[in-house]
Amino acid sequence: MDIHIRSFVPDDHAAALALWQRTEGMGLNESDEASAVSMFLARNPGCSAVAVTNDGRLVGAMLCGHDGRRGSLHHLAVEPGFRQHGVGRRLVEHGLARLAAAGIVKCNIFVVPDNAEGTEFWLRRGWYRTPWLNLQTRLGT
């Protein structure tokens, strides 16, 4: 079955969220609600991507964006039956090409520390560990 990669649009949220919820090692929170994802997509038009079958079934999804200096990839997931066929690679290529076209020269990916499969996916593709510690705070609480 052919898999088509296209830009992620707000209407894809429910199917993408369901995929992310089924994907082991995925860290989800309130930032993944429909309104937050729609805002992210609007700020980063065309960067995020989904993989769909000929009959329109969503089998992969990834959020991608930038802050004007560096890019970031979030929530890359592919349905188990479609893994090892280049779907994840094609989703990443979609996002990285859009970042490069916007003049972004580096990109980060956030991987949950105990997600060994996800970590290996990225390391096999030339990504590397950084010495930085990621810290975060919640706003408005």
Write down the pTM of the prediction.
0.91
Domains of the chain, start order:
3-124 (3.40.630.30)
Are the CB atoms for 95 and 71 separated by under 8 Å?
yes
Spatial CA neighbour of 76 closest among 122, 130, 33 = 122
Residue-level length of the chain: 141
**Across the strands, what pairs with 76?**
none
Q: How far apart are CA 84 and CA 104, in angstroms?
A: 28
10 Å Cβ neighbour count for 99? 22
Per-residue pLDDT of the chain (141 residues; tens, 9 = 90+): 699 999 999 999 999 999 999 998 888 999 999 999 999 999 999 999 999 999 999 999 999 999 999 999 999 999 999 999 999 999 999 999 999 999 999 999 988 888 888 899 899 989 999 998 888 888 876
10 Å Cβ neighbour count for 72? 18
10 Å Cβ neighbour count for 114? 9
